[in-house]
Amino acid sequence: MFTVRRMGVDTHKESVAFLDDDDLLCRCLGLHPMDRVEISASSRKLLAVLNAVEGTLVPRGTLGLSNYAFANLGLPEGADVELRPTEPPASMDLLRAKITGKRLSQDDFRNIVGDIAEGRYSRIELTAFVVAATINSLDDDEVYALTRAMVENGEQLHFDNPIVADKHSIGGIPGNRTTPIVASIVAAAGLLIPKTSSRAVTSPAGTADTMEVLMNVELPIERSYEIVKKENGCLIWGGALNLARADDLIIRIEHPLNIDSESLMISSILAKKKAAGSTHIVLDIPVGPGSKAPTRKKADRLKTRFEEIGRRLGLKIRVLLTDGSQPIGHGVGPVLEAQDVLKVLRNEPDAPTDLREKSLYLAGELLELTGKVGSGHGRQRAQALLQSGQAYEKFERIRNLQGRRELPEPGQDTQEILAEKSGSVKAIHNEVIARVARLAGAPRDPGAGVYIFKHIGDPVKLDEPLFRVHAQSEQPLGFALKFLEEHRDAIEVG
């Protein structure tokens, strides 16, 4: 028996156990570092990867757990648990088959995803799955099978309504915070739109990060249902609902490897939408350098695949190809993006025009897709709901029900980046702007980020500010400025 201790170590979504090196030797457990182990007490069980620790960090007779493992085990510190080795996942033969290029069936993916969702795959084995699915790309049948398995291995939302609207962007563009605006317009139109969104993994902010500075986004399913019933919509973090839980584990592997698997992206997005109960979806694919669809050819292929696999899942999807050549809005980072959202919803004169116009376009298409208005009349209806203030009123009611938070100030340590010559903006490098915002502290520091003054085509005078970097202290601001010394073409003036 061992006594449980929370180590305070963040291992993201990997369950890791820590054991004194002498315990491994003296107790003859037959265990070695990096072995997979089962931790159990009464009816509770947890699978984890074992790490050995020297010194006094983990006392003899104690089993240390990472934050993620401790939360999943659900026992208090000091509880007694048993430890034993476990066999490799039963689906490892299927994983090896995929590595060699074999096509997998629906049952094969059920077995693999089931093992992933139950925590039976270590980070190394998850990496093998991601690489295999990328090198030996999944065909449409396999993507459909993987998506179904993702949906089945997680919570699912159910609404007593034949139409549940949704909007999603495949990402890759800084700013682009259209979701809260679209959701507010569509909910004000009387449609159901329970919006579940993601947090940032490698970007300066996800929709959930931006909304979190304005309201509580981590709500239980029961409370989410109540808010949707009252106001037709919500703006919450999907991760709190445990939807398609295997997908969250896979995503954590993809990003550090900088792997952009088309098949896994399609499966990830559609699984989350299906699990959230969506029936009608407008999908935004930004096209341009630095986006996930850098060319029109790739965008067209993604469009076709999303539509086909969505149809097989019983979803009505309208895929829209939009301009992804530059950031959308002025702000990049949670607080700065939230400022843009509020300005658009409040119809303020200095609201970013591009964010407003794109939101109206997407909302109008969704109103038409659901049959709420006739073809060709969606944008007009969306604009009326925004200009009348009905969309902002809806947003504020949802905000109050979820738990209102007042918008913080942006980071007070700032530096403006000035134009080195006169001319006009010829290009903005999305990946450079996103990296600067991350180095400045976003999204961990909500006030950090980048405020963009100029967009493509705008005239520029010598020494006129192009953008401003925000940080909470001098050190992260210094990291961002050091990066900019090596990337002086973040915004190109010609």
The catalytic site residues sit at 260
DSSP 183-239: HHHHHHTT-BEEEEE---SSSS--HHHHHHTTB-----HHHHHHHHHHHSEEEEEGG
First-to-last CA distance in the chain?
70
Tokens coding 160: 């007593």
CA distance 485 to 436: 11
Enumerate the H helices of 325-352 as residue ranges.
Answer: 334-345
Hey, what amino acid is at 26? Answer: C
CA nearest neighbour of 83 among 56, 58, 63: 63
Q: Does the N-terminal peptide bond of residue 443 adopt cis geometry, omega within 30 degrees of 0? A: yes
CA distance 333 to 32: 43
189, 372 Cβ separation under 8 angstroms:
yes
Number of helices and strands in the chain (H, E): 18, 18
